[in-house]
Amino acid sequence: MDMIEGRGITDNIQRFSSLPPYLPVSYHILRAEISFFLKETNQDLLRNSSLQSRVESFFTYKAKQPPILNASYGPFSVEKVVPLDLMLTSNFLGPANKFSFDWKLKAYILRDKIYLSQPKVQILFHIMGRDWDDHSTGEKLPCLRVFAFRETREVRGSCRLKGDLGLCVAELELPSSWFSAPTLGTGRKKSVEQPEGSPVELYYTVQPGDERADCAGGDLRKGNAIRPGKDGLEETTSHLQRIGTIGLYRAQDSAQLSELRLDGNVAIWLPSRPVKQGAVVTAHVTISSNSTVDLFVLRAKVKKGVNILSAETSEPRQWDVKQEVGNGGKHATTTVACQRLGPSARNRSSSLFNEVVQMNFEIASFSSLSGTQPITWQVEYPRKGTTDIAVSEIFISQKDLVGIVPLAMDTEILNTAILTGKTVAMPIRVVSVEENSAVMDISESVECKSADEDVIKVSEQPIVIFLNGQKTKNKVHLQ
């Protein structure tokens, strides 16, 4: 909501009336697709009781250039561009003379937990407010430079917005030293890893690319965004926009593993996320921390398309592991005998299980119908019998997906349907992002639903959210 004050010269003739005097000026808003003058519910009648000034509140929507306020009184008129400091938001894309005024930038952190085994940060940027069907194919979209800050250290990356959707993916490779324990101020290190991970702050800045569409532009090793060097970055530091925070972890999060209990002693942990064809999958075999079992034999059977690899003990001083592999045509089997070597080590963690062995499987192929590969498991206790057969499934993807992101064409949808009776609609696209940062439009392969159809409705294909004037609720944030 914006307010502007207009003043005009009046004559010196004093007039008397039972109504408060006011300046009879007509106002018009230009260069905005939709605009409204607002009336306050408890407006003070005497606020505009003057022949020299007048205050009005107004609202603008979808302005491609800074709006202009026109004030007219009889044959006289005056215009003024609404000051930018009343209109700009924190995710403003850039100068209005280079990019459309209503364009804004949205950033999506694809993974907010980063592990030492995969130290790459990926951020999807997307222009909002840009008409996907009405833009110049030759327009040069800006570059984005991204910064990651860990205490006083910094890593940079960049990408250039492009395509009909105006998006790009920036990558940041974090050094392994960033995953070490944080310092305590006197050179000492904190040995216990924080549950939320070591925090890293992410920022970006908008900059023009060169004629070759190169976004790197200069030696990135000079200075940093905290203490800029002499490479022209002093100008960009004041325009850093915050993206968010990620957490760094040295060990893989158990939340990314699914548990399969074989009985009260043994449990198998496998990746819960889809894996790519050709990847090696590790099954973590654990035993209950209060178990007294000294010997057990674990059998696993896989179908054609899965190769059985090694079995390695996790605690060589505690467990001896021996593996045998057999092939039977359509199936392959492996038998792993686990023998406890000594008394159970004192459990210093709060974990309910201790890892005994890691078994590795290679996913060579899979059924195109199911997209999964099953592994059957059974535990045998010598002279005590066997457990029932349990089945786990490995979900396989042709592509190594990092995330699926829905994109809206604009930041907001204004319900004018309740006033005009005309349906208001906004298109939605859904894209997938792979490990190599490739982006694919998968809108035709997904189904979208509204979390509350009393607020907003969603059509099927093409995916469009719309308001038809019949909604019964209001909401600021929609899903």
Residue with tokens 């364009």: 103
Residue with tokens 């996913």: 363
Residue in 254, 271, 266 with CA at minimum distance from that of residue 372: 271
Q: How far is CA 360 from the centre of its chain?
A: 31
Give residue 30's pLDDT: 83
Task: Write the class of the CATH domain 104-249.
Answer: mainly beta
Q: What angle do CA 285, 288, 293 make, to 5 degrees?
A: 90
pLDDT tens, residue order, the chain (479 aa): 344 444 444 445 455 455 566 677 888 888 777 777 777 777 666 666 666 677 777 777 677 777 888 888 888 888 888 777 766 555 556 555 566 667 888 999 999 989 888 899 999 999 888 877 766 555 678 889 999 999 889 999 999 998 888 899 999 999 989 987 655 555 455 545 566 688 999 999 988 765 555 676 444 434 455 544 444 444 444 478 899 999 998 876 555 788 999 999 999 999 887 888 888 899 999 999 888 899 999 999 998 889 999 999 988 989 999 999 988 778 899 999 999 987 655 444 456 888 999 999 998 876 554 577 889 999 999 888 899 999 998 888 777 788 888 888 877 766 666 666 677 777 888 888 988 899 998 888 777 777 666 666 776 666 666 565 555 555 544 44
Helix, strand, or coil here: 371? coil
Give 223's DSSP letter.
B
Residue 336 to residue 323: CA distance in whole angstroms: 4
Cβ-based neighbours of 313, under 8 Å, separated by 6 or more:
319, 320, 321, 356, 357
Task: Please give the full DSSP string across 79-125, using - where no structure is assigned.
Answer: EEEPPGGGT--TTB-S-TTTS-TT-EEEEEES-SEEETTB-EEEEEE
The pTM score is 0.62
| CA-based torsion, 401, 170, 163, 34: positive or negative | positive
Residue 61 to residue 32: CA distance in whole angstroms: 6
CB-based contact 464:427 (threshold 8 Å) = yes
* The token pair that represents 70 in the structure block: 């026109």
Q: How many CB atoms lie within 10 A of CB 315?
A: 15
Listed in sequence order, the DSSP H helices in 226-380 are 234-237
121 — phi, psi (to 5°)?
A: -105, 135
Residue 341 to residue 329: CA distance in whole angstroms: 36
CB-based contact 459:453 (threshold 8 Å) = no
Whether 254-397 and 104-249 are alike in CATH topology: the answer is: yes
In this structure, which CATH number among 3.10.310.10, 3.40.50.1110, 2.60.40.680, 3.40.50.2000 belongs to the domain 254-397?
A: 2.60.40.680
Residue 226 to residue 207: CA distance in whole angstroms: 18
Residue 407 to residue 161: CA distance in whole angstroms: 15
Q: How far is CA 442 from CA 337, 407, 433, 438, 445, in A?
A: 46, 11, 10, 12, 5
Listed in sequence order, the DSSP H helices in 414-465 are 417-420
Give residue 212's pLDDT: 55
**Which H or E element spans position 306?**
strand 306-313
Q: What's the one-letter identity of residue 475?
A: K
**Domain residue extents for the chain:** 2-86, 104-249, 254-397, 401-467
Cβ-based neighbours of 362, under 8 Å, separated by 6 or more:
278, 279, 280, 281, 306, 307, 309
